[in-house]
Structure 1
Amino acid sequence: MNQNLRGWTVSLLVLALCSFFTQCANIVPPGGGPRDTLPPRLVHVAPLDSTLNFNSSRVVFQFNEFVELDNVIEKLIVSPTMKRTPVITAKLRVVTLEIKDSLQPNTTYTFNFGDAVKDVNERNPIEDFQYVVSTGDYMDSLQLTGKVLVAETGKPDSNIAVMLYSNLEDSVVSKEKPLYLSKTKGDGSYRFRNLKPGTYRLFALKEEDRDYQYTQPDELIAFSDSLVHLSENLYDMNLALFNEVDTIRLEDEPEVTQPEPEKDKDKEKKRKPRLQVGFDLNGGQQELGDSLTMTFNFPIRSLDTAQIGLYEDTTRKKVPFSLHPADTTAKAFKIAYNWKPGKPYEIILPAGFATDTSGLQTAKADTVNFEAKDLDDYGTVKVALTISDSARRVLPANDTSYQFVIQLVSGTELKYTGVITDGKWERGLVQPGEYTIRVVIDRDKNGKWDTGSYYGVPKKQPETVFSFKEPINIKKNWTVSPAVKL
């Protein structure tokens, strides 16, 4: 009897434990392997890649896993270009290319998908995926490579259209689509493959409308000075991209506009407009070696500078100054004076000293107090320039009538510039911060970078700019001495 009781007791205990662990246990799915980082693999294509005497209007690509298309219309590049864009679809493991144009005879066609084909799960792209066929009995195989740099900054830009034309007219870039098309990568490099021997014009364009024609004034263009005679592979066909309108300006010559606050339209109808003035002061301090910017909310017709009083120091000594427009808006003006470090200043503006183009005058007198910064608020830069043999190859040949101009750039803003003399340049009163160094080959010795011109007479390339990857960091009361090598 005791044995039976013990048996029942053990059985009940086992059942209780099983019930407890069943309720408390977490069901964990089996762990997977490492993350898939491999792109899809092409297992078959019909017609085959490198097919000669190609005459199909449909190409089918089969992959080893499910695939999808990522912005394929934007990324697909067909060379020679077609009037009608092919239709591309993806379903499961298959991508289908439908050709809607008639193909030219004895021509090699390249369909470059870029990284548009990706696997569904991890979205791993096939890099530089392309398909090449020929409608003739031979395959064109010539290549042309190079880099495109933005002339003003000396830096590369990605997704720039690089174009070859068999029509050799100067105006072809504004009238026709290119025969061959390529796009730059992140480092600015481009490559044409499977080109036909011949003579071409070479251009690059940065545009938004994707019509591959130079038609808008805000588009950037680059061009080769000479025709491209292609009978063998050509390398280092480098181009400088520029806007024909010179957009560069120094910080002390900004295009200043005075933003107006949003106002209730009904109240605005009842309220008379007022001519208002403001000053560009950072925390009530004026930068040494720079002009003080005075801005208005309306364009100014006349300023009575004799009425403006500038007073220096605690003694309120009246000091002379000069005033000139800061830009072409007639809203911003520069008060130029050799500010003394750490000194307090006061500007007195009487009523009616300014009149706008509608006859409106400043209604009330105003007084503005500020201080000039101290010398210790700034750093100093001393640059030593050396020129490598490779850099000498891009200098104007048989011409010494140029100079080197250095630029210190903060973000995208040109802050300081000057001419390098005997390989040296020094600048004090540099505001603390991080700067990129650029060196301009100033061909006309006007002390600044000049853009190029394609439709001007004569044509001219933009001035060459070297941009250095490593920035310099300026701190208060420090001297930085970077060695710059071209």
Structure 2
Amino acid sequence: MLKYSITSVRKDVIRNLILVVSGIIVISCASIGSPSGGDYDFDPPKVLSSTPQPNQTFVKSGKIQIVFDELVQIEKPMEKVIVTPPQKNFPIIRAQNNRVIVELKDTLIANTTYTVDFTDAIVDNNEKNALENFALSFSTGEIVDTLSISGKVLSAYNLEPVSGMYVGIHSDLSDTAFTKLPFKRISRTNELGRFTIKGIAPGEYKLYALDDVNRDYKYDNPAEAIAFLETIIVPTVQGAVREDTIFNKDLTVDTIRTVNYTKFLPDNVVLRSFTSDFKRQYLQKHERLTDDIISIYFGSATEMPKIEPLDVPYGISEWTVLERTAGNDTLKFWITEKAIADMDTINLKVSYNKTDSLNLLQSVTDTLKFINRTKKKTPPKDEKKKGKEPEITFLALTTNIAQTFDVYRNIDIEFDFPVKDFDKSKIRLGLKADSTYSDVNYILKQDTLNPRKYQLQHKWRFGEEYRFAVDSGAIHSYSGLWNDRLEALFKIKKLDEYGSFIFSMSNLPDSVPAFVELLDKSDKAMYQAPVKDGAASFEFINPGIYYARAIVDNNGNGKWDTGEYSEMRQPEMVYYYSKALDLKPFWEIKEYWDVLWAPLDKQKPLDITKNKPKDDEKRKKAMERRDAQNEKRESQQKSNRNNANGMNQNQNQNTGANYNQSY
């Protein structure tokens, strides 16, 4: 009996030991990591070594190798990696395990500082954490130049940050250096328009930006966007101090320490990017899509060409109505004579301006043949349709009339074909009084570019009801179509449905015209008002959220004009108001606006800035994932510990009971 009991106790002890060890193993396994792959890595790669070393002198080889503490990749090397001096042949840039290798194809220039600026192209292999603002400089001579110029490139028209634009310097201070010579040193703007040109020697420089389409690092194509600074830049350094704050885990301040550092100047240059309004002029195409329309298209705005018919006995203006764009780049001739419209082919002698290889205008004369390829054959008679009334096709007439109409708006009228003898007698405009409409006077104007468009102008009364009516058969086109009856009833908005703005302006140039635009949330101009006596006033504005932009109108033409480098003319200045304005019905908002309230790169409200800092959603989600993993792990570990402790207690109780039973 005693032998049996001792043997049973030994078995129980062994079983308990196995359970305890198993529990320890479970806890240990739980602490290794979750099945999702462990903690998210937030640290960028770290540089362990490089060949050549940073700021090494007398370098002879164009092969650069950088070793990191983990596997790395290169993202968009042709866009993000900048080698300066600029290279004629793009270097080989590749990642190999934990190394980045750059091989320069151009021969190294003697006594020159080279900088390979990776910006944020180097990322780790797993989580794509970027090594920000990493650059390696070395010299082929005894001196490594260390000065730099920093700033931002903005679109001159709307102050949007411009990404992917080259920014370069010239030590040759002549205006022709930008058009004849490649940049001496370069950088490229990041997604927020920022740039830093590094490795600059002491001296005087001119600064430019260039959207270099052909990558020759000089402005030789008027279609390329550019920016230039008239002033000469002298890069310098100065000592500076900043305060770094160290926080505790509970976000309370631990320590504040003062750090001395070297500041490279200038570091806040703003360049305003623009594209010249120069466009190459050439004949793009010509066509005859229908029997009564012939069209001529040019590549850009041009002077009105001289056109002479070759197979019609009189001038083109006598048998066509011309519809054109403001720059004459599209000409549409509506044929008004049926006999000419029935001709299979029409030949025109056209003399126009064409840009040659030197970007100079030359007069060119071509014979253009317009073949009617859409002429319909007479359809066979359908016996089934005999005795039926033919289907009537009316001359289409459209307007912009809405049931509720703005007090400042004119009525736009458009036909689908040019019309004959259209005048005020064809339209009746009535004002409602009691239950009847009394005719009112108005002004009718034909559009100067499109003969199918007209505008009806009238001084509307707030809150009143009107009727617009055209009788059937009152208007007919050259093609023989007549209009159907049209009647539209509409009501003018009340005064208390509108609001108004008054901007008191300061720091605009004296004696120079200017105007202010009200913008919607998409940065689109909705209203415009001139600046008079230091103020811009807007009346009868529909309620809503608005932003404001001021434009210095140097030539007084009421629109923003671009720059021209050949004339050393900058684009017209643009300023943004600091905030959104919420206009309510029957409100008058008065605002004081100093257009120099902030530097240009800080003026545009972030709400309407398209190229804005992007939230790192990937990093945010990763942090949430990490926190969830840690919480899950801690919960699992606590549960495992409780289970193990429970098993131990139960086994101890069972062991004691077995001992008691055996004795």
Q: Output the TM-score relative to the length of structure 2.
A: 0.57
3-state secondary structure, aligned to 1:74: helix
1:467 aligns with 2:589: no
Query: Which of 480, 495, 500 does residue 375 from structure 1 map onto?
Result: 495
Q: Which of 133, 140, 153 in structure 1 is aligned with 2:145?
A: 140
SS of 1:156's partner is coil
**Deviation digits for residues 395-429 of structure 1 (CA, Å, limit 9, x no counterpart):** 65xxx322443221112321222233444333221
Go from structure 1 to structure 2 and tell me whether the alpha carbon gap of 1:108 and 1:276 turns closer, same or farther (over 3 Å shift).
farther
Matched residue, 1:243: 275
Tell me the SS of whatever aligns to 1:73.
Answer: helix
Query: Matches of 1:375 and 1:416 in 2, distance apart?
Result: 18
More helix by share: 2
Which deviations, in whole Å up to 9, do the C-alpha atoms of 1:30-57 show, x marking residues without a partner?
Answer: 3477532221111111111212122212
Measure, in 1, the Cα distance between the counterparts of 2:91 and 2:480: 62
Aligned partner of residue 238 in structure 1, secondary structure: strand
Q: Paired residue for 1:108?
A: 113
Residue from 63, 69, 73 that aligns with 1:64: 69
Number of the residue aligned with 2:531: 420
Shift of 1:332: 5.0
Q: Among residues 280, 288, 300, which one is paired with 2:400 in the alignment?
A: 280
Provide the C-alpha distance between the structure 1 equivalents of 2:482 and 2:214, rounded to a whole number of angstroms: 46
Please give the per-residue CA displacement for 1:87-123, whole angstroms capped at 9, x wherever unaligned: 1111221111111111222221211111111112221
1:405 paired with 2:518, answer: no
1:227-376 equivalences in 2 (<5 Å): 228=232, 230=234, 232=236, 235=266, 236-245=268-277, 276-281=396-401, 284-297=403-416, 300=418, 304-306=422-424, 307-313=426-432, 315-324=436-445, 328=449, 333-350=454-471, 351=473, 353=475, 355=477, 359=479, 361=481, 363-376=483-496
The 1:471/1:331 distance shift into structure 2, 3 A limit, reads farther
Residue 143 of structure 2 aligns with an amino acid whose one-letter code is: Y
Post-superposition offset of 1:454: 2.1
**1:482 is aligned to 2:591:** yes
1:453 paired residue number: 564
Shift of 1:170: 4.3
- Report the CA distance shift for 1:218/1:44 in structure 2 as closer, same or farther (over 3 A): same
Cα displacement (A) at 1:241: 2.1
1:275-304 CA deviation, whole Å, 9 max, x = no partner?
6333334x5332221223334556x47671
Q: 1:94 to 1:100 in 2, by over 3 A?
A: same
Distance (whole Å) between structure 2 residues aligned to residue 325 and residue 180 of structure 1: 56
Identity within the alignment, %: 28
CA contact (8 A) 2:168 2:197 kept: no
CA distance change for structure 1 residues 313 and 106 in 2, over 3 Å: closer, same or farther? farther
**C-alpha separation in 1, matches of 2:149 and 2:533:** 39
- Within-5 A mapping of 1:175-254: 177-185=182-190, 188-197=193-202, 200-206=205-211, 214=219, 219-226=224-231, 228=232, 230=234, 232=236, 235=266, 236-245=268-277
Change in 2 beyond 3 A, CA 1:335/1:65: farther
In structure 1, list runs of 5 or more residues that go unmatched: 247-253, 256-265, 388-394
User: 1:446 offset after TM fit, Å?
Assistant: 4.8
User: What CA distance in whole angstroms lies between the structure 2 residues aligned with 1:434 and 1:290?
Assistant: 20
CA distance in 2: counterparts of 1:288 and 1:145, whole angstroms? 50
Paired residue type of 1:401: S
Does structure 1 retain, via aligned residues, the 8 Å contact 2:393–2:481? no
Cα offset, 1:162, TM superposition: 2.0
Change in Cα spacing, 1:289 to 1:36, as seen in structure 2 (3 Å) is same
Structure 2 match to 1:259: none
- The aligned counterpart of 2:309 is none
Paired amino acid for 1:196: A
Structure 1 residue 485: Cα displacement: 2.6
Structure 1 residue 208 displacement after superposition = 6.4
Indicate if the aligned counterparts of 1:305 and 1:353 stay in contact, CA closer than 8 A. no
Map 1:83-122 → 2, pairs under 5 A:
83-122=88-127
Give the partner amino acid of 2:69: N
Instruction: Provide runs of 4+ in structure 1 moved above 6 Å.
Output: 268-274
Structure 1 partner of 2:619 = none
Q: CA offset at residue 125 of structure 1?
A: 0.7
In the alignment, does 2:563 pair up with 1:437?
no
SS in 1 for 2:565: coil
Cα distance in structure 2, aligned partners of 1:184 and 1:200: 19
Q: State the Cα deviation string for residues 57-79 of structure 1 (Å, max 9, x = none).
A: 21111111111111111111222
Larger CA deviation: 57-66 vs 269-278:
269-278
In 1, the alpha carbon distance for the partners of 2:209 and 2:450 equals: 33
1: CA distance, partners of 2:421 / 2:208 = 49
CA contact (8 A) 1:155 1:467 kept: no
Q: Which runs of 5+ in 2 are unaligned?
A: 238-264, 279-325, 328-373, 380-390, 596-663
Number of aligned residue pairs: give it: 439
Partners of 1:216 and 1:344 in 2: how far apart? 57
Question: In the superposition, relative to structure 1, how do residues 107 and 85 fare at CA in structure 2: closer, same or farther (>3 Å)?
Answer: same
**Do the aligned residues in 2 keep the contact of 1:308 with 1:353 (CA within 8 Å)?**
no
Code of the aligned partner of 2:517 = Q
